[in-house]
Chains A and B, each alone.
Chain A
């Protein structure tokens, strides 16, 4: 696989008619964030709709002194589109087998961790336990291993999950559109696929082996998910892996062009940063400190005010508490990032170290204390 051309589709990977990747890569390669001035940022902040160039300005270093202004504008946009609602969910890792060697990830196939996969009974116990906390939205995750965690296995998990939850999302390896259609039929409606980095050279470097190495197949996953009938898709770059400004710029454009082509799609962003994992304590997000992370979140909000933004337990409680309502519209609660671990002991080790282990009740109270409304269900499966 090391010698595989990472820009070339492999056998079995569906090719769709789309030019979005070319558009995003071209505009990102032309994005020179050092050329923006304070004036450009001020102009962008005065507009009711940001152009792509305005978006580039608010992501640039020139916007750093304007973080407070951006936050003031962002909170108004957030309130306008989401009121004071903050949605809650939790991820459930049903397996952590992985066939990829992603150098930044705890699940990578060369990392010596405990691997596991929930069977039907264990899965049901976990789902019941999570549902008993009041949560109504769940995100099902696997490692990226078609052989160990096949589409059928995931479909069975989705069917079971949809008996207990009104919203079922997926964060799994990219699929063909007919496979997404099958999982949609099983009860899943939302798909997250994170591109990790939009720098194709860096992408190749950090994915030396495994099918994940194929950049365009991953890039077009959201589009295939929508073609398969999914109602919403999530985007995210792993901030800190490469130049975070360029990666954030590309992420926003990716979502923007998808929204233009599929106006009905519900769009959301996640903002993962590199985190330490088992056998790699030094996996830190480089120059993406909280200030930069917030700038990225604010830029997403200003560019696409209607999009959801999720804040995960990768971040510390104090940061999470302050970004909900301001810019984030969804927060995870009662999180375990090992396999299972809610009702029974974890069956497999964790993907990364979490930073906020508060329970659903604690997150609920935090949201209330900030004058916001916790929302557990904002979806009806039709």
Chain B
């Protein structure tokens, strides 16, 4: 079966996107390999961590870079960072992050919509990180987003699908890949999101803070694959109050 993740016309086999901001660089390669990762974020503000080291040196060949605009507090700053990333040769993909809250790091949907429109018009493949709000997601889609990246829970919290119902609405209503970004803490939560019909999972902290990061990356890969297979196969029905009586309770009606 041809089941590829398509974002902005680019095809990916893997539905596991890696956030790279919380790793030691030397772990990056084994995480990518064990996780079967094809796309990884790159925080431009940390692209060069200093000294002799550069995160790009640790990215295996063939990885699609997803530069993000972390550090941007408004649409203008996000646009400037995205342009800088493209100038530096990071490609056309960009994950728009606009955060104006130092405590919870909540994305600013309003500014994100503005940045999405500007960048999409400039030919970027825009993947906006957002709080899962249907109206905002529609506006981002309208503005030219290539995918929508709602948070499942506050960034770094590993709390799982706190916003599950709202993500489901996006999956049902928005005709773009919905990629859960932020908050996923366990492979089982990634699996559950995939079962819902989410197109891909992005995570960072859950893997970076695991005891064995390479093994955890593998666990996520398997969970994401399992969830996708479950979604495609059509989940079995769930019985609750509709227990099936062998003799129908309404069979006495004659009309």
Residue positions of A touching B, CB distance < 8 A: 79-85, 88, 134-136, 166, 231, 259, 263-267, 304, 306, 364, 368, 371-380, 382
Q: Does B212 count as interface, using CB distance less than 8 angstroms?
A: no
| A/B interface sample: 16 pairs, CB < 8 A | A80-B158, A84-B22, A84-B208, A84-B209, A85-B21, A134-B51, A136-B50, A263-B100, A263-B102, A374-B51, A375-B46, A376-B48, A377-B50, A380-B44, A382-B72, A382-B81
* Residue of chain A at shortest CB distance from B43: A378
Establish whether residues A259 and B102, one from each chain, have CB atoms under 8 Å apart when the complex forms: yes
Give the contacting residue for A373; candidates B49, B71, B84, B158; CB below 8 A.
B49
Contact of B51 with A376 in the complex, beta carbons under 8 Å: yes
**Which residue, of B45, B51, B156, B205, has the highest number of chain A Cβ atoms within 10 A?**
B51
Q: Are B103 and A373 in contact (CB under 8 A)?
A: no
* B23 within 8 A of partner (CB): yes
Complex Cα spacing A84 to B23, Å? 6
B residues 6-46 in Cβ contact with A at 8 Å:
21-25, 44-46
Question: Cα distance A13–B68 when bound, in Å?
Answer: 41
**Those 8 A-B pairs whose CB atoms lie nearest each other, nearest first:** A376-B50, A83-B22, A134-B51, A380-B45, A373-B24, A80-B156, A382-B77, A264-B100
Q: Given A85-B22, A380-B81, A80–B45 Cβ distance below 8 Å?
A: no
The 8 Å CB contact of B84, one of A88, A259, A380, is A380
A378 engages B103 (CB within 8 Å): no
Q: Are B84 and A306 in contact (CB under 8 A)?
A: no
For B23, list chain A residues within 8 Å (CB).
Answer: 83-84, 373
> In the bound complex, how far is the Cα of B103 from the Cα of A381, in angstroms?
21
Q: Assess the B102–A372 pair: CB atoms within 8 A.
A: no
A378 to B50, CA, bound (A): 10
- Asked if A376 and B209 sit within 8 Å, CB to CB, the answer is no
Q: Give chain B's interface secondary structure class.
A: loop
Contact in complex: B49, A377 (CB < 8 Å)? yes
Identify the B interface with A (CB < 8 A). Answer: 21-25, 44-46, 48-52, 71-73, 77, 80-81, 84, 100-105, 156-158, 204-205, 208-209
Q: Which residues of A are found within 8 Å of B209, using beta-carbon distances?
A: 79-80, 83-84
Complex-state Cα separation, A277 to B111, whole angstroms: 50
Known: A82-B22, A264-B101. 10 other contacts (CB 8 A): A83-B204, A84-B23, A85-B22, A134-B51, A266-B102, A267-B102, A375-B49, A377-B48, A380-B44, A382-B80
Residues of A within 8 A of B50 (CB): 88, 134-136, 374-377
In the complex, which residues of chain A have a beta carbon less than 8 angstroms from the beta carbon of B158? 80
Evaluate contact between B51 and A264: CB separation under 8 angstroms. no
How far in angstroms is the closest Cβ of chain A from B22? 2
B205 near A80: Cβ-Cβ < 8 Å: yes
User: Are B24 and A371 within 8 A (Cβ)?
Assistant: yes
Nearest-neighbor residue (CB-CB) of B46 within chain A: A378
Contacts of A265 in B (CB 8 A): 102
Q: Is the CB of B24 within 8 A of A372?
A: yes
Question: Given the complex, which residues of A lie within 8 Å of B77, measured CB to CB?
Answer: 382
Contact B46–A377 (Cβ < 8 Å): yes
The reply to whether B205 and A379 form a contact with Cβ atoms under 8 Å apart is no
Residue of chain B at shortest CB distance from A371: B24
A117 CA to B20 CA, complexed, in Å: 42
The residues of B that contact A378 with a CB separation of less than 8 Å are 45-46
How far apart are the CA atoms of A368 and B50 in the complex, in Å? 14
Q: How many whole Å from A222's CB to the nearest CB in chain B?
A: 13
In the assembled complex, the CB of A309 is this many whole angstroms from the nearest CB of chain B, namely 14
Residues of A within 8 A of B73 (CB): 231, 264
Which residues of B have CB within 8 Å of A134?
Answer: 50-52
Q: How far is the CA of A80 from the CA of B209 in the complex (A)?
A: 8
- Chain B contacts for A368, CB-based, 8 A: 24
Give the Cβ gap from A165 to chain B, nearest Cβ, in Å.
11
Contacts of A266 in B (CB 8 A): 102
Residues of B within 8 A of A82 (CB): 22
B156 to chain A: closest residue by CB: A80
Q: Closest CB of chain A to B69's CB: distance in Å? A: 9
Q: List chain B residues, Cβ under 8 A from A372.
A: 24
